[in-house]
Structure 1
Amino acid sequence: MANGSRMAAWEFFGSELKRHRENAGITQVELGARVFVSGGYIGQFEQAIRKPQLDVAQRIDEVLQTDGFFERTWRQLINDKRYADYFGPVVELERLATKICEYAPTVVPGLLQTAAYAEAVTIAANPFVTNAYVEEKVMARLERADILKDATRPEYWAILHENVLRIPVGGPEAMAEQLEHIAHLMRERTVWLTVIPYAVGAHASMIGDLRLMEFEDAPPVAYTETSFSGTLLDDPAVVKRAQRAYDLLRGTALSPEASLALIESAAEDFRRCASTT
């Protein structure tokens, strides 16, 4: 579904929510209290500014007695087949975030990937798929990165392990291009990025990818991912633990200046290798 049609569909969700709420004779504040969000949230749902979580849509159905209408509509709209089922809600939250912090131990985060790097990662994980499938996945990943181009872009922080700079994904040319892209974003102050070097050894969070997201008027969330699944976490105690882990990681990383120098050195190494092959 194209972006425009998806947006129109969420506007339909919002207009139906308003219609059913008004028919029930309750205010936004009253509905919000009964589904455990603020009245302001309900207003944002109705204006398609914010998209509700599944459990909120389910509670709206219960309060308004709409026989599962909002849950079914939510599932249809959130089900973007370009993304894994567990990742679709994360993409929606990215677009609303005011701050995104990522830790990547092995692979460049999706928001920073170039087309060649994204293609290589996609094919490595799915060696028997069609070219059309690969193209769709790559375009979806590049489309996500558009949030870093907006005037209202979120603060974007990333911590990369040195593994990310050394694993030759897509070959020397693709890696040189990828690292040069990251260096450019750093120099343009689009992202704040640091690197944990090999010399650190054991560090605070030797786990899979970790992402923290903050919002203007909603509690922060954490997202963890492994090879075959991802988990969106909103329990305040768990999110606090994830934030502490991220702080510890940041404490072991190089300075931004030293990180940039390391990235540019790695890019030069890959560029020299590409020129001799």
Structure 2
Amino acid sequence: MIDLRRLQVLRVLRAEGTVTATARALYLTPSAVSQQIRLLSREIGAELLRPEGRRVRLTPAAHIVLAHADAIAAEWEQARADLAAHSAGAVGQVRVGGFATSFGSLLAPAAARLRDSHPRLEVQLRETDIDDSLRLLLAEQTDLVVLPVAGTPPLDDSRFDQQVLLDDPQDLVVSADHPFAELDAVRLAETAHETWIEPHHDQFQLIEVACAAAGFAPRVAHGAAEWNSVLAMVASGLGICLLPRLATTSPDHRVVRIPLRDEPAPSRSILTCVRRGSRAQPAIAAVLQALEDVARDRLRG
């Protein structure tokens, strides 16, 4: 009989690459991780790890086990969903991760709705970047994450179930005294000679692709990871940028956002991602439904 918890340790080790990182992801000690792998090796009757300097390498037998482990994990998640639907329904705790700009427009409103409609359901929100979100999900430290499509794993990744939640259009953002500020819409090609502010990596990748489609490469002078910093530089006239519709601005930012009239206009898809097999669990399904309702209302608005 194989212990599913030990299979999970092996799956996380594959994702993390080292015993130390696996221990950190699972809130275990490195010796406990090593012991779990040794016990799994004994259960299977095959060596799973081989030392390679200060690191370890998965053996061919480990890769064979892992080829089945994702399917086993998905079946177990589905079994948990069926049991939960049979017994208690949408109760308990759901831990939700998301990127910064998803909070004001999606996650916080969805959690507020659930507080009223499902008082026995506790929703915990946590801001995470893309890589951390997937690691936490795989390590069962998070139950659901909201991600921009850039940087996510392939849609056929056997560990995860990913579904598009909504498309998030990009607007041009300029200072209040910029010549474009009086316009109702702008074509991206009209910005070819402008100076650009570089935002965080995934967003700038989208900007580069959109500008290339418009026939130019953006001339970058400044950069920042946080939107408040980007908008402060835009407001000061240091450059322009593309801003996702989900990212909010305030009068304090002293910027103007202008729709793009390009066809198709630059946009990014926002996904929900759960462990494969867990989407039907009543508590997770309730959170997903609330997110879909908020997204639908936002698109109507």
TM-score (norm 2): 0.21
TM-score (norm 1): 0.23
- Higher-helix-fraction structure: 1
Q: Which has the larger radius of gyration?
A: 2
- Higher-strand-fraction structure: 2
Structure with the larger RCO, 1 or 2 (CA within 8 Å, 6+ apart): 2
